[in-house]
């Protein structure tokens, strides 16, 4: 049992490192990509026609990265909602059992 406990502790540390290196803070990544995308779109408005192709390609790449980050943020909030449901369950059982009226 001691060996299993030790292995699980090491696994926890490795998974935390993997999460930090692979995903980082999902919310910060979304904000960063959104800022980059807005900056590129503002540059497109002021860029001459000769340089517009490079900026359009860059915009497409950043937009795909932004969409990817939004997907990870969606998955994060989906998992948080699921964990809260498992933890708290349906706390409104009194409300639904008597149509919201307490007996006197």
Q: Which mean pLDDT values do the consecutive 10-residue runs of the chain (104 residues) have?
A: 93 89 85 93 82 85 94 91 77 59 51
The 8-class DSSP code of residue 47 comes to S
26 vs 12: CA distance, rounded Å: 19
Helix 26-46 to helix 52-88 angle (10° resolution) is 160
Q: What is the pLDDT of residue 96?
A: 59
Q: What is the pLDDT of residue 90?
A: 64
9 vs 16: CA distance, rounded Å: 11
Q: What is the pTM of this model?
A: 0.64
């Amino acid at each position: 049992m001691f060996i299993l406990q030790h292995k699980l502790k090491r696994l926890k540390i490795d998974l935390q490192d993997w999460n930090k290196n692979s995903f980082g803070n999902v919310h910060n990544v979304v904000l960063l990509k959104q800022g980059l995308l807005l900056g590129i779109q503002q540059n497109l408005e002021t860029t001459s026609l000769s340089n517009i192709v490079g900026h359009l390609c860059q915009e497409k790449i950043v937009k795909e990265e932004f969409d990817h980050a939004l997907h990870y943020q969606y998955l994060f909030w989906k998992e948080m909602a699921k964990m809260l449901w498992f933890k708290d369950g349906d706390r409104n059982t009194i409300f639904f059992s008597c149509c919201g009226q307490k007996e006197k």
